[in-house]
Amino acid sequence: MKPNLPSSAERTLFVDRINQAILEAQRNGKLVALLFIDVDRFKAINDSLGCSCGDAFLGTGFSSLSYLRRFPINRSKIDQSFVRDIEHTPANESITKAIIALAESLSLDIMVKGIEKLSEQMVLEKFGCTEGQGYLFAKPLSAAGGSDWMKQNNCPGAQQGPGRV
């Protein structure tokens, strides 16, 4: 059964609640975990907003493989705990390869978090990872700082301004 399309007010309330949760988490330095119980309603709101939904981290306690079937996920992130010393830790290498294989088989984009060393980047590139973030590239930045960093480093989309990359 297809859910009714959400009203404009419902979409606005949905976005406002998510924004409030994110702002509160940033103030308190906490992780935001959103739990959607009504998956069909979430999909309808998500589609009507034209959003994409990325899975937080495959392979960590904040994720469930069942989300891959239930939600319109198009991106997966690999947690820094699997990246750390990947060049010397066979278990991290195996887990990372498995996450990449799963993501690729589901046509998900992959983002690797917490890359701190060139040797880690080289291993991940060998595995086919093309997107990453971490101290190897830059320290955490504000939206404006990120926009400036992107302009200085000639990144695509840098001219669009903060929040629009």
Could you give all domains of the chain from N- to C-terminal order, each with its CATH number?
A: 1-51 (no CATH), 54-155 (3.20.20.450)
Model confidence at 15: pLDDT above 60: yes
Q: Alpha carbon of 41 to those of 8, 11, 56, 143: distances in Å? A: 14, 11, 20, 30
Q: What does the mean pLDDT of the chain come to?
A: 75
Question: Could you give the CA distance from residue 132 to residue 137 in angstroms, rounded to a whole number?
Answer: 9
Handedness of CA 154, 159, 160, 164 (dihedral sign): positive
SS3 of 151, please? helix
Interval 72-115: pLDDT, tens: 777 888 888 899 999 999 999 999 999 899 888 888 888 898 99
For residue 120, the model assigns a pLDDT of 95
Contacts (Cβ under 8 Å, ≥6 apart) of 128: 100, 104
DSSP for residue 132: B
Residue 55 dihedral angles phi and psi, to the nearest 5°: -75, 135
Question: Could you give the CA distance from residue 33 to residue 62 in angstroms, rounded to a whole number?
Answer: 7
Contacts (Cβ under 8 Å, ≥6 apart) of 161: 147
The answer to whether 158 touches 151, Cβ cutoff 8 Å, is yes
For residue 13, the model assigns a pLDDT of 76
DSSP for residue 92: H
Contacts (Cβ under 8 Å, ≥6 apart) of 26: none
